[in-house]
Amino acid sequence: MIEKRDFYINGRWVAPAAPNDCDVIDPSTEEVCAVISLGSEADTDAAVAAAKAALPGWATTAPAGRLAYVEKILEIYKRRQAEMGAAISLEMGAPIDMAVDDQAEAGAWHIQNFITAFKDFEFLRPLGPQAPQTRIALEPVGVVGLITPWNWPMNQVTLKAIPALLAGCTMVLKPSEVSPLSSLLFAEIVHEAGVPPGVFNLVNGDGLGVGTRLSTHPDVEMISFTGSTRAGIAITKAAADTVKRVCLELGGKGANLIFADADDNAVRRGARHCFNNSGQSCNAPTRMLVERPLYDRAVDIAREVAETTRVAPAKETGAHIGPVVSAAQYEKIQGLIAKGIEEGARLVAGGLGRPDGLNRGYFVRPTVFADVVPGMTIEKEEIFGPVLSIIPFDTEEEALAIANDTIYGLTNYVQSADGARRNRLARQLKSGMVEMNGQSRGAGAPFGGVKASGRAREGGHWGIEEFLDVKAISGWDGK
Ligand code: NAD
C-alpha cells in the first residue's frame, strides 16, 4: 500500500485541517491500494490564499522564465515517466505497458507541444494597420481552479496545469478522488522543478466538497474542468454568482463513418480504438456506422476483435485491456449492456458479467452490438466501457444525420478512399474534432468539443489562450 500523502500548498506537503480519509481502490483487485485525505472548505481556502499571494510575482515573471520552469518539469517528468505510469496503472487500472507508453506519455507529449507553441507566443500584439496605436494585450486570468477526471489522468492534468503556468496564472488542482496518485507525483515533479511556492497547489477532495468550494470561491477567476456533462453543468451554475470563466471538456459519443471503399483495416482499427483504455475515453468511436455493402463483414471483424481482445489485471505486461475504474462504473456499464439486449440490439460478442477466469476486479467483457437502431439507449448514452454499437447505413446523408443526432459533439471519424467525400463530411460533422483514415490529431492541435461535449479548446496555442484575458489598449506609444 502506498504511504499516505496529503495536500501540496504553498510549496509544502500539509495535513488536512480535519481528518477525512478516503480509500483509493485498485480496480484489478478491489483492494485498498492507498489512502488520501479529502479536503474541506478550510483546506481549499488555504490553497486559494497561497495561489492568490503568489499571483503578482508569477504573473510578472518574464515569459522566458516561466518557460524555463516548464522545460525543467518536462525533463523531470520524462525521468520519472515509468513511476508515473505505475501510479496511473494502480489507481485506474490501465495495463502497465499502456500506462507508461500511452497514458503517461500523453502528458510528456502535451508538455512538449505547449513548449513549442509558447516559443512564438505573443503577449502583446498590434491590432492592425487601421489602428496603429492600438495593442491587444493577453494577460493571465489570475487564480484558476483545475478539476480533472480519472480516465486519462496525466493527459488532463498537463493540458491544464502547464498552459496555466505558461500563461502566468497560479492554480489549485483538484484531481479525481478516484485517481489521485498520479497527481500527487505530478506535484512532486513541480516541486523538484523549483516552481515558486504558491504557484501550483493541490488539494485532494470530492466534487461536492473541494470541487464546489473552488467553483464558488470569490478569489478563483476561472475553472478549467474535464469530466462528465452532469458535473460540468453543476460547476457552470455554481460559478455563475462570481462570474468566473468556465472551460468545459465533457463527454462524447463519437461516430465512426465507415464507407465500403474504406481501407481494409478500418473496421479493425475502429473496434480496437473503441476498446482501448477499456472504453474509458471521451473521444472513443463508440458508434460504428457502416455502409450496407460492408456491413456483414464489418460485424464479423468487430466480433473477432472483441473475442481476441485479452482482458487481464493492470500489472500484467503486454497488449491487453484492464478493468474499468470502479464498482460504480462496472455497474453502470452492466446496466447499459442489459438495456441494449432488452431494447433488441443484436449481441454478437461479450455481454453481461466478467470475462471467463476473472472473478474479482471490475473487468468487463469487450462487447459488440449489431443492428443498433438510432434512438436506442446504447446509441444515445455515453457508456464509458468497452462496448461498441454497429449501425448500418445506405447513403452519405443518412450517415451524416445519424452521426449528428446526438447531444454530444467531441470527435467524429470518417473512413473512405474518396477524398472529396472525406473533406465534405469533415465540414458537416458537428464536433470539435474530426479524424479520418486513422490519422490522429496533429501535435499542438486543439482538443475540445461543441454542444454537451463542452466548448473548451485544450492543447498547443489554443490551450494557452484559454488561461489569458484579452485587453484592448488604445493610445499606445508605439515608438
Ligand atoms: P465526473 O464528472 O464524475 O468527475 C470529474 C471531476 O469532477 C472529479 O474530479 C470530480 O471530483 C469532480 N466533480 C464531480 N462533481 C462535481 C461538482 N458538482 N462540482 C465540482 N467538481 C465536481 O467525471 P469522471 O467520472 O471522473 O470522468 C468521466 C467523464 O469525463 C466522462 O463523461 C468523460 O467523457 C469525461 N471526459 C471528458 C474529456 C474531454 O476532454 N472532453 C476527457 C476525459 C473525460
Other Cβ atoms less than 10 A from the Cβ of 64: the count is 9
Q: Are 408 and 453 in contact (CB under 8 A)?
A: yes
Residue written as grid cell 475502429: 270
Distance between CA atoms of 340 and 337, rounded to whole angstroms?
5
Q: Rounded to whole angstroms, how far apart are CA atoms 280 and 130?
A: 50
**Distance in angstroms (rounded) separating the CA atoms of residues 332 and 337:** 9
The pLDDT profile of the chain, 479 residues, written as one tens digit per residue, is: 777 779 999 999 999 999 999 999 999 999 999 999 999 999 999 999 999 999 999 999 999 999 999 999 999 999 999 999 999 999 999 999 999 999 999 999 999 999 999 999 999 999 999 999 999 999 999 999 999 999 999 999 999 999 999 999 999 999 999 999 999 999 999 999 999 999 999 999 999 999 999 999 999 999 999 999 999 999 999 999 999 999 999 999 999 999 999 999 999 999 999 999 999 999 999 999 999 999 999 999 999 999 999 999 999 999 999 999 999 999 999 999 999 999 999 999 999 999 999 999 999 999 999 999 999 999 999 999 999 999 999 999 999 999 999 999 999 999 999 999 999 999 999 999 999 999 999 999 999 999 999 999 999 999 999 999 999 999 999 76
Cβ–ligand 1 distance for 410 under 6 Å, the answer yes
Catalytic residue of the set 282, 291, 379, 435:
282
Q: Where are the domains of the chain?
A: 2-250+454-473, 255-436
Which pLDDT score is estimated for 4? Answer: 74
The amino acid occupying position 243 is V
pLDDT at 83: 98
User: Ligand 1 centre and the CA of 202: distance in Å?
Assistant: 17
Q: Is 282 a catalytic residue?
A: yes
How many angstroms is it from 373 CA to the middle of ligand 1?
A: 28
Q: Ligand 1 within 6 A of 148 CB?
A: yes
250 lines ligand 1 (CB under 6 A): yes
Distance CA 123, CA 235 (A): 29
The single residue of 221, 249, 379, 466 carrying the catalytic annotation is 249
Is 153 close to ligand 1, i.e. is its CB under 6 Å away? no
Provide the grid cell at 158: 498537463
Considering only CA atoms, which residue is closest to atom 30 of ligand 1?
227
Sign of the CA dihedral running 82, 84, 87, 93: negative
- Measured in degrees and rounded to the nearest 5, phi and psi for residue 457 equal -130, 110
Sign of CA dihedral 25, 157, 386, 335: positive
Distance between CA 36 and CA 255 in Å, rounded?
A: 38
- Which of 204, 223, 228, 407 should be mutated for ligand 1, with most atoms under 8 A from CB? 228
Ligand 1 lined by 231 (C-beta under 6 Å): yes
CA of 232 to the centre of ligand 1 (A): 7
Provide CATH code, domain 255-436: 3.40.309.10
| Dist CA 373 CA 392 (whole Å) | 9
**Side chain identity at residue 94, one-letter code:** A
For residue 91, what are the contacts with CB-CB under 8 A and spacing of at least 6? 24, 26, 33, 34, 150, 153, 178, 179, 180, 181, 182
Q: In what order do the strands lie in the sheet with 245-249?
A: 12-14, 7-9, 200-202, 170-174, 143-147, 222-226, 245-249
Atom of ligand 1 at shortest range from CA of 410: 41
* Rounded distance between C-alpha atoms, residue 148 and residue 399, angstroms: 33
How many other β-carbons are positioned within 10 Å of the β-carbon of residue 462?
A: 17
C-alpha cell at 277: 483504455
> Looking at the DSSP assignment, which residues form a beta bridge with residue 415?
258
Q: Is the CB of 90 under 6 A from ligand 1?
A: no
- Total-model pTM: 0.97
- Output the CA 56–ligand 1 centroid distance in Å: 31
* CATH code of the region 2-250+454-473: 3.40.605.10
Can you say whether the dihedral through the CA atoms of 257, 258, 261, 266 is positive or negative? positive
SS3 of the chain: the string is CECCCCEEECCEEECCCCCCEEEEEECCCCEEEEEEECCCHHHHHHHHHHHHHHHHHHHCCCHHHHHHHHHHHHHHHHHCHHHHHHHHHHHHCCCHHHHHHHHHHHHHHHHHHHHHHHHCCCCEEECCCCCCCCEEEEEECCEEEEECCCCCHHHHHHHHHHHHHHHCCEEEEECCCCCCHHHHHHHHHHHHCCCCCCCEEECCCCHHHHHHHHHHCCCCCEEEEECCHHHHHHHHHHHHCCCCEEEEECCCCCEEEECCCCCCCHHHHHHHHHHHHHHCCCCCCCEEEEEHHHHHHHHHHHHHHHHHCCECCCCCCCCCECCCCCHHHHHHHHHHHHHHHHCCCEEEECCCCCCCCCCCCCCCCCEEEECCCCCCHHHHCCCCCCEEEEEEECCHHHHHHHHHCCCCCCEEEEECCCHHHHHHHHHHCCCCEEEECCCCCCCCCCECCCHHHCCCCECHHHHHHCCEEEEEECCCCCC
Question: For residue 267, what pLDDT is reported?
Answer: 98
Q: Is the CB of 212 under 6 A from ligand 1?
A: yes
Which atom of ligand 1 is the closest one to the Cα of 215? 20
